[in-house]
Amino acid sequence: MNTAAKTAAAVYPPRKEFAQTAHVDADRYAELYAASVADPEAFWREEGKRIDWIRPYETVKNTDFTLGQVSIRWFEDGTLNVCANCVDRHLETRGDRTAIIWEPDDPKDAPKHISYRELHGHVCRMANILEDMGVRKGDRVVIYLPMIPEAAYAMLACARIGAVHSVVFAGFSPDALGARINGCDAKVVITADYAPRGGKKTALKSNTDKALLHAKDSVKVLMVRRTGEQTSWVQGRDHDYNELALEADDVSGCVEMGAEDPLFILYTSGSTGQPKGVVHTSGGYIVYTAMTHEYVFDYHEGDVFWCTADVGWVTGHSYIVYGPLANGATTLMFEGVPTWPDAGRFWEVCARHKVNQFYSAPTAIRALIGQGTEWVEKHDLSSLKLLGTVGEPINPEAWNWYNEVVGKGHLPIVDTWWQTETGGHLLTPLPGATPLKPGSATKPFFGVQPVILDPHTGEEITTNPAEGVLCLKDSWPAQMRTVWGDHERFEKTYFSDYKGYYFSGDGCRRDADGDYWITGRVDDVINVSGHRMGTAEVESALVAHETVAEAAVVGYPHEIKGQGIYCYVTLMNGVEPTDELKAELQKWVRTEIGPIAKPDVIQWAPGLPKTRSGKIMRRILRKIAENDTGSLGDTSTLADPSVVDDLIANRAGRE
Amino acid at 410: H
The torsion angle over the Cα atoms of residues 481, 484, 490 and 493, rounded to 10 degrees, is -130
Least Å distance, CB 615 to ligand WT7, is 24
Site membership for ligand WT7, residue 442 (CB under 6 A): no
Q: Which of residues 308-337 bind ligand WT7 (CB under 6 A)?
A: 314-315
Q: Which of 40, 178, 316, 393 binds ligand WT7 (CB under 6 A)?
A: 393
Q: According to the annotation, is 510 in a ligand binding site? A: no
In order, the DSSP letters of 335-348 are: -S-TTSS-TTHHHH
Site string for ligand WT7, 372-391 (x = CB under 6 A): ------------------xx
Q: In this chain, which of 98, 252, 420, 603 binds ligand WT7, going by CB under 6 A?
A: 420
Q: Which residues pair with residue 165 across a beta bridge?
A: 141, 264
Helices H / strands E in the chain, number of each: 22, 30
Footprint of ligand WT7 on residues 451-510 (CB under 6 A)? 504-506
Q: Is 198 annotated as a binding residue?
A: yes
- Interacting residues of 279 by C-beta distance below 8 A, sequence separation 6+: 262, 264, 265, 480, 481, 482, 483, 484
Is residue 533 at the binding interface for ligand WT7, with CB under 6 A as the rule? no
The binding track of 499-518 with respect to ligand WT7, each residue x by CB under 6 A or -, is -----xxx-----------x
**Which residues contact residue 28 at a Cβ distance below 8 angstroms, ignoring those fewer than 6 apart?**
433
Q: How far is 290 from 423, CA to CA, in rounded Å? A: 11
Q: Is 419 in the site for ligand WT7 (CB under 6 A)?
A: yes
Rounded CA-CA distance 57/283 in Å is 10
Q: Which amino acid is at 246?
A: L
**237 annotated among ligand-binding-site residues:** no
Nearer Cβ to ligand WT7 (520/609): 520
Give the Å distances, CA to CA, from 21 to 15, 385, 437.
11, 12, 22
Three-state SS string over 201-259 comes to: EECHHHHHHHHHCCCCCCCEEEEECCCCCCCCCCCCCEEEHHHHHHHCCCCCCCCCEEC
Instruction: CB nearer to ligand WT7: give 413 or 644.
Output: 413
Minimal CB distance residue for ligand WT7: 420
- Answer yes or no whether residue 192 interacts with ligand WT7 by CB under 6 A: no
CA distance linking residue 486 with residue 484, whole number of Å: 6
One of 130, 184, 436, 441 touching ligand WT7 (CB under 6 A): 441
Report strand pairing: 601-604 vs 562-571.
parallel
Per the annotation, does 532 bind a ligand? yes
* Rounded distance between C-alpha atoms, residue 318 and residue 277, angstroms: 16
Is 590 marked as a binding-site residue? yes
Check residue 268 for interaction with ligand WT7 (CB under 6 A): yes
| In the complex, minimum distance from the CB of residue 447 to ligand WT7, in angstroms, rounded to a whole number | 18
Q: Answer whether 373's CB lies under 8 Å from 365's CB.
A: no
Residue 532 interacts with ligand WT7 (CB under 6 A): yes or no: yes
Please, which residue, 479 or 603, has the CB nearer to ligand WT7?
479
Q: How many CB atoms lie within 10 A of CB 645?
A: 10
- Establish whether 200 is an annotated binding residue: yes
- Looking from the CA of 228 toward its CB, the CA atoms found within 13 Å total 0
- Closest approach of Cβ 237 to ligand WT7, in Å? 32
Region from 242-250, 347-355, 418-426, 603-611 binding ligand WT7, contact rule CB under 6 A: 418-426
Give whichever of 237 and 622 is closer to ligand WT7, judged by the CB atom: 622
Question: What backbone phi and psi angles, to 5 degrees, belong to 234?
Answer: -105, 110
Q: For ligand WT7, which residue of 115, 527, 529, 570 counts as binding (CB under 6 A)?
A: 527
> What minimum distance in Å lies between the beta carbon of 428 and ligand WT7?
8
The DSSP bridge pattern shows strands 466-472 and 450-453 to be: antiparallel
- Using CB under 6 A as the binding rule, whether residue 537 contacts ligand WT7 is answered as no
Q: Is position 233 annotated in a ligand binding site?
A: no
The binding site for ATP consists of 391-393, 415-420, 506, 521, 532
The binding site for CoA consists of 197-200, 315, 529, 590
The binding site consists of 197-200, 315, 391-393, 415-420, 506, 521, 529, 532, 543, 545, 548, 590
* Interface residue list for ligand WT7 (CB under 6 A): 268, 314-315, 390-393, 415-420, 441, 504-506, 518, 521, 527, 530-532
The binding site for Mg(2+) consists of 543, 545, 548
